[in-house]
Every structure is written in C-alpha cells, then in structure tokens.
Chain A
Amino acid sequence: MSQIWTEKYRPKEFLDFYGQEDIVSRAKAFVTEKNMPHLMFTGPAGTGKSTLSLIIVKKLYGENWRSNYLELNASDERGIDVVREKVKDFARTKSLDSNFKIIFLDEADALTREAQQALRRTMEMFTQTCRFILSCNYSSKIIEPIQSRCAVFRFKQLDREAIEKIVKHIAEKENLQLEEGIMDELFMASEGDCRRLVNILQASAVISKSITSELIGQITKTSNAEDIRSIIENALAGNFSKSKETLLEIMLIQSLQGIDIIRSIMKLIPELKIDDRLKVRLIEKCGEAEFRLVEGSDDFIQLEALLASFATAGYRSRSKPE
C-alpha cells in the first residue's frame, strides 16, 4: 500500500468516484460493452481524469492492465517525436486480453498545433489496435480534427459536497479529528483540486491527527510573506543583489516555483506603500513575466528580469512625482 495518500485513497471502483456523476455512468457503459471510442477528458487539475482512466483500464483488463496501458505526459516528453515513438513501440504488439490497448496522454494541450497534427496521424495509424484517452485542462487548445475524433468528457471542479465526502472518508480511515468548520478551510485551500486536497490533509496529519484551522494555515503558507516583501522592496529601492539573493534562497530552500512566487508578489502589491500608478506598472510587469515564465525554461532568470524592471520602475517613480 502506498505511503502517499493521493495513491492510497485513489478510488478503485466507479462507486467510490465522487463528483462527476454523468461521466461515471458513460464510462461504466464502455466497460460493459468492452468497447470505446477515443476519449478526451478535459477539465481543471485534480478532478479525476487520471483516476477515471485507471478505473476503466483496471475494469477492462483485470490483472493484466499494466501491459495494456501506456501513460504518457506531453509536457514531460521531449517533443512529439518521442511520444510517437513510444506509442509505436507500445501499439506494435496486440493486446492478449482485448481488441485494443489504451494510451493515456496527459497534458495534451501542452502540444503545439504542429505536434497535435502529428498526433492525429498517429491516432489514425493505430486506431484498430489502440484507443487514446487525451487529457487536458483546456479543450480549446486541442485542434478540431482531434476533438471530432474523440468523445469529450468535461470534468467539473469538485464541489463542496464531493470535497466533504473525500475528507470524511480519509479522516475515518486514518483516525483524524476534524475541527469544526474545517471543511470551509479545506475547500478553499484545495481550490477544487483533489490531489492538492489530499496532499494538504496528509501533510497536516503527519504532524498531528487533530486537523485544526491553525495547522492547515501553517501547511498552506506557501511562502513567507516577509521574504516576498523584502524581495520587492529591495528591488524597488535598487538593491538588486540583495533582492536576487533572497529570491534564489526561497526558490532553492522552499522549492517554490516561479509561478507561485509571482502570485505571491501580485498578492502583496496592493498593500505596498507606494504610488498607485507604480502599483499598476508593477502589475503590468508581473503579467509580462508570468507570460514569459510559461514560455521559458528558467524561472529564476525570468524572475530576475522582473526584479530588474521593478528597480527601474521604482527609480522612475521616485524621480518624477506625477
């Protein structure tokens, strides 16, 4: 049994799958009929796409599910050619248990249009022996030809009821004491993402079985507000080296991703004691930086560029009182 709760408590039966009622009934039908088209699972993170796929697979193939199932991640692989190679190798051998094997391609929306065209050709090539389950956050980023070849399942963000069921189930099995009103806290902290929810629960529970609001608060404090404040203020004042050093430290020691840091900076900007026009300029620069962060490969360099632009913005704001 897994030490990681997201795996230990991952539903293994359709019965235990909370939050996506219509989808579950359609999925059950595929299993009974032992047939399915290509599928597209679309929706926010942590809503059960990988889980549902796994349940379908295990129900269809029983014990041999591993030899009939290939899990790939478009964002992890180095380009579409690698993906196609892996698919080819996998699809080469026929399934011993069924008419088709299943390939789960996660984060399919990370593929460029060209890559998706190539993917479509691959899907066509192996359509007899393989079914694809494409998973993505935004169906609009998947090209039309692929969408039309798939049955689209839209996963919705987990609602309060689903979150409660999940939390209560785990609390019972793990002997946790839930403070009154803690559901609100957990609901907010999870942002509808079940994986995040369970990680928060486990991170709290390893410290104390009594899950209190204070404990959750400590766990989810993603970065020290003081550090972020110091980074911004030093940058604005022109103390670039100090700002940069603090940034590097929190990225290394706290393992924070660039995107989380920009979010924290954005949260802090309105509270700073600076000119309102400067605040707007800083937000503009954050927007540009976040865009580049997604496009680039090195969070640290992109954030430094942000800090350098804060430095000049701060300087200009000081020298020209408007």
Chain B
Amino acid sequence: MIFSEKYRPKRVMDVVGQNYALQSILKSIAQSKKGTCMMLHGPIGCGKNSAIGAIASEMNLELIELNASDLRTKDNINRVIKGAIFQESLFRKKKLIVVDEIESISAREKNGLIELASLIGQSKFPVLLIANDLFSRNISFLRKKYPSVQFKKLDDNDIMVLLKRICLKEGIKHSEIALRKIALLSGGDARAAINDLQALGKSIEEDILVSKRDQEVGIFAALRTIFRSNSFAVLNALDNTDLPAHEAMLWIDENVPVEFDMFEMESAYNYLSKADIFYKRIGRHNHWHFATYSNAFLTAGICFSKRKQHDQFVSYRRLTRLLKMWQSNRELKDETAEKFGKAMHCSKRKVFREMPFLKLIYGNMGDSNKEKLLEELNLNSDEENFLLEGKNEIA
C-alpha cells in the first residue's frame, strides 16, 4: 500500500504544521450558512487535501471532491456542481464540497466562473476551492469574492515528524541524518518526501540519491517547452533530460490533462499512443530509426495539438503515486511473470492473461503450500507481495 495514502491523517490533530489554516476552516464550516465558500491555497504537498479529509472525517461530513480540470464549460460546471450541491447526501450527513486545482478552470469560459459563483451562492453546504497559485489571473474573480486561507509551506521539522511517524509504524530502520536529507530534498512537499521514503525500502542509509530532485527540474523545463513552444525546434525538447523514453511518456501523460482541453487532449493522446507504438516497434523490428518518430510524436505531436495560446501559469504535476507504482510494478510484474513462465512452459504474455487467477490461487493457499510455491518458483519477497496485492476475498 502506498504510504502517502496509508498515512493520510484521519484526525485533525494528526495534521502537521497547519494549525492556523485548520482553525480557520473549522470555524468557517461550523458557522456555515448558505453560500459559504473559502479559497485554500499553498504549495504542493503541504497538506491541503489531507487536512480537508481529516476535517470531513472528524466532523462526519460527506466529502465530495471535484477537480476543476474536468470543468471546462459552463454546461459541465452546471451539471457537475449542481449535482453536488443540490442532492441530499445518501448518508443523511451534511456535505463538504471541494473543488481542486481551481485555476485550471478554463479562462475562455468567462461565464463558467460566474456560473460557478452563482451555484456556490445557492449552496447550503460549505464549498472549499483549492488553488496552487492564488494569484493566477483567471481566478482573480473568485479570489476577490471569497476569503482565502493560506496553508504554509512545510519546513524540514514538520516533514521529519511525518517521516518518523511512518518509520515507527512500518518498522523502518533509519538515522536522523538520512531522514533530514529526505526532508530537505522534498522542498516542503510532504507527498514527495513520503514517496521517497517508501522507495528506499526497509533500511535507510545516509548516502541516498540526491540527484533525483535535480532531474525533475530538467523534466519540468522540458514539459514547459513541449506544451508552450511555437516552433518546430520543440523536437529537441527531451534531448537534455536523461529520461528513458517510456518515462518521458508517463510524465507527458500525467500533464496533458493539466494543459489541454478535451479536443486538444484527444489529439495529444492520439500522438502519445503513436509514440508508444513506434517505441515498441524499435525492439520488435530491431530498427532504431523508429525512435525518431516516437520522439517527434512526443514533442511536436503533443505541442501542435494545441489550438489556442496557453499562457497562464500552470503547475506541472509530478508522476502521481499510482502512476509511479504502475511504472515500478511493470518490472516486478515482468520478473514474476518470467518465473511463472518457466515453470508453466509458456510466455510472459500468457502468464499475464492468467495472472488474476494465479493471484487468486496463491492468495488463498494454505501457508505451507505458499511456502512450497515460493520455493518452487524461487520468488523473492517483493514478488510475493506483488502476488498478494488486491487479494480477492470471497466469503
């Protein structure tokens, strides 16, 4: 289980470093009347969503989470928000409505924002809007209308508290210095720090990867070039990152929805899909020149999918936790499948098709048989954990 999800605070008192923000929000919700709305803002990974989750849980509110990147048009806003606001909770609870990444609401749709504000005004449930950049031009209308609550940037000590907590619960051997390094590297992003912690395994030594964060600076610059360029020189955008092609695809995949509207996205994904196909063809036909096409689709294909000028500020996203798992899982999956394949006299591809059944078989076996199977296939503990993921419980 991913730590950044497993250790989300469930109680308000577990949220680290945001006392002021928490108190403001709690007070506002307690006194809420029709049309209560607040704008939350703060750096990435400082706990905005976690705090809201903890508050909803403690105050027994039904949490409705929406993402503004899905709210492109006035119609969409109308349909989605109205649903959230006017339907009674199925659980007979009060609701708390949260709209994340509010600045990605399309700037074109001027009416969209007015529509949103109008709906909020009619809501009997409190609404929280989350912005990464409070001063983004396209939400100035909202910023002027609603009170804002600032979440502060977490400092090293705040992050250390979180990391230590997890180390204790997970039995991870660690040194103060190592944890402090992780905290420093994260730059106030708790999620990043926790992901880094998880990636390091059961025992954390001091000489850990420092270059990882530097690498990201290069990737963000490459993304900006791909999404904002106007010239065909965009073909070179990925040249200075050391990203393997497949990883570059995942970073772009993560950020296409951030930048593009629905139609631009369709075109962009079409090119992403083609880039993937040519990437596979390199190996299959042993023909390196296919990499040129893959790169062209990844850079120019994506770049020229846009139909209008994008110049508002956008925070690019790091690979989300699930996507990172997808990436690391692929190798693990592959190795596990290879071992099964040898035993079952078939290809990895066939093993993948059978994998859901193999997982069921392993997951429900008695312990002694599990031992025997592990030995038979020579599976290590990571591979064993992979088999146990998503165990289906059938009564």
Q: Chain B residues near A202 (CB, 8 Å)? A: 357, 361
Q: CB-defined interface of A214-242 with B at 8 Å, one 1/0 digit per residue?
A: 01001100100000000000000111111
Asked if A312 and B266 make an inter-chain contact with CB atoms under 8 angstroms apart, the answer reads yes
Number of interface residues of A (CB under 8 A): 67
Asked if B365 is at the interface (CB within 8 A of a chain A CB), the reply is yes
Report the minimum CB–CB distance from B387 to chain A (whole Å): 9
The distance in angstroms between the C-alpha atoms of A163 and B276, with both chains bound, is: 40
The CA of A224 and the CA of B391, in the complex, are separated in Å by: 14
Q: Is the CB of B280 within 8 A of A242?
A: no
Contacts of B392 in A (CB 8 A): 218
> With an 8 A cutoff between CB atoms, is A276 at the interface?
no
**A255 touching B355 in the complex, CB below 8 Å, given contacts A79-B286, A114-B285:** yes
Are B273's CB and A301's CB within 8 A?
A: yes
B-side interface residues, number (CB < 8 Å): 65
Given A256-B356, A304-B253, A311-B262, answer yes or no on A112-B285 (Cβ-Cβ < 8 Å): yes
Of A7, A51, A237, A255, most buried by chain B (CB within 10 Å of CB) is A255
Once bound together, how far apart are the Cα atoms of A196 and B269, in whole Å?
A: 34
Distance between Cα atoms of A185 and B323 in the complex (Å): 37
**A54's contact among B79, B263, B323, B345, by CB below 8 Å, is which?**
B345
A75 to B351, CA, bound (A): 12
Partner of B249, one of A3, A219, A237, A298: A298
Question: Distance in Å from the Cβ of A256 to the closest Cβ of chain B?
Answer: 7
A195 to B347, CA, bound (A): 13
Which of A19-27, A168-176, A246-254 touches B?
A: A246-254
Is A241 touching B69 in the complex (CB atoms < 8 A)?
yes
Determine the chain B residues whose CB is within 8 A of the CB of A254 once the complex forms.
356, 390
A257 to B346, CA, bound (A): 17
**A295 contacts chain B at the CB level, 8 A cutoff:** yes
B44-52, B186-194, B336-344: which lies at the interface: B336-344
* B72 within 8 Å of A (CB atoms): yes
| Bound: A114/B376 CA distance, A | 38
Least Cβ distance of B149 to chain A in Å?
Answer: 24
Known: A238-B76, A315-B262. A200 touches B345 (CB 8 A): no
Name the CB-closest residue of A to B391: A253
Residues on B with beta carbons closer than 8 Å to the beta carbon of A237 = 76, 79
Q: How far is the CA of A51 from the CA of B357 in the complex (A)?
A: 20
Q: Contacts of A302 on B, CB cut-off 8 Å?
A: 273, 276
Taking a contact as CB atoms under 8 Å apart, the answer to whether A240 and B257 are in contact is yes
Question: Which residues of B lie under 8 Å from residue A4 when comparing CB positions?
Answer: 343-344, 358, 361, 373, 376
Interface flag for B67 (CB, 8 Å): yes
Q: Chain A 71-106 against B: per-residue CB contact (8 Å), 1 yes, 0 no?
A: 101011011110000000000000000000000001
Closest B residue to A196 by beta carbon equals B354
Which among B139-147, B175-183, B195-203, B325-333 touches the partner chain?
B325-333
For A291, give the chain B residue with the smallest CB separation: B277
What residues of chain B lie closer than 8 Å to A255, measured between beta carbons?
333, 352, 355-356, 359, 389-390
Report the nearest A residue to B342, measured CB to CB. A71
User: Are B360 and A203 in contact (CB-based, < 8 A)?
Assistant: yes
Q: Is the interface of B mostly helix, strand, loop or mixed?
A: helix
Contact A305 B269 (CB under 8 A): yes
Which A residues, 257 to 278, have Cβ-Cβ distances below 8 Å to chain B? 257, 259-260
Residues of the A chain whose Cβ atoms lie less than 8 Å from the Cβ of B253: 300-301, 304
The answer to whether the Cβ of B70 comes within 8 Å of any Cβ in the partner chain is yes
| Contact across chains for B262 and A240 when beta carbons are under 8 A apart | yes
Indicate which residue in A76, A112, A195 contacts B354 across the interface (CB closer than 8 Å). Answer: A195
- Known A-B contacts A219-B357, A241-B69, A256-B356; the reply to A301 vs B325 at CB < 8 A is no
Interface residue from A3, A50, A245 paired with B346 (Cβ < 8 Å): A50
Q: Which residues on A sit within 8 Å (CB–CB) of B92? A: none
Query: Cβ of B376 and Cβ of A50 under 8 Å apart?
Result: no
Closest to A203 in B: B360
CB distance from B328 to the nearest CB of A (A): 11
Contact B277–A296 (Cβ < 8 Å): yes
Give A21-59 interface residues, CB cut-off 8 Å to B.
Answer: 45, 50-51, 54
| Min C-beta distance of A155 to chain B, whole Å | 15
Q: Which residue of A lies closest to B322 (CB)?
A: A248
Chain A nearest Cβ from B360, distance in angstroms: 4
Q: Is the CB of A73 within 8 A of B347?
A: yes
Residue of B whose beta carbon sits closest to that of A308: B269
Asked whether B30 is an interface residue with its Cβ less than 8 Å from the other chain, the reply is no
Please give, as numbers and ranges, the residues of chain A lying within 8 Å of B285 by CB-CB distance. 112, 114
- Closest Cβ–Cβ distance, residue A210 to chain B (whole Å): 13
User: B residues within 8 A CB of A251?
Assistant: 326
For B322, give its contact among A45, A215, A249, A297 (CB under 8 Å).
A249
| B257, B277, B352 pick with most chain A CB within 10 angstroms | B277
In the complex formed, the residue of B with least CB distance to A208 is B394
- Picked from A196, A259, A301, the residue with its CB within 8 Å of the CB of B276 is A301
Query: Which B-chain residue is minimally distant from A304 (CB atoms)?
Result: B269
Closest 10 interchain pairs by CB?
A297-B280, A253-B390, A305-B273, A305-B269, A73-B347, A308-B269, A3-B373, A199-B357, A206-B364, A203-B360
Pick 19 A–B contacts, CB within 8 A, sort by A: A4-B343, A4-B373, A73-B348, A75-B347, A75-B349, A106-B347, A196-B354, A200-B357, A203-B357, A241-B70, A252-B326, A252-B389, A255-B352, A255-B359, A296-B277, A297-B279, A302-B273, A304-B272, A308-B269
Given A219-B357, A240-B70, A296-B277: 6 more A-B contacts, CB < 8 Å = A195-B344, A195-B350, A203-B360, A206-B365, A296-B273, A297-B279
Residues of A within 8 A of B (CB): 2-4, 6-7, 45, 50-51, 54, 71, 73, 75-76, 78-81, 106-107, 112, 114, 195-196, 199-200, 202-203, 206-207, 215, 218-219, 222, 237-242, 244-245, 248-249, 251-257, 259-260, 292, 295-298, 300-302, 304-305, 308-309, 311-312, 315
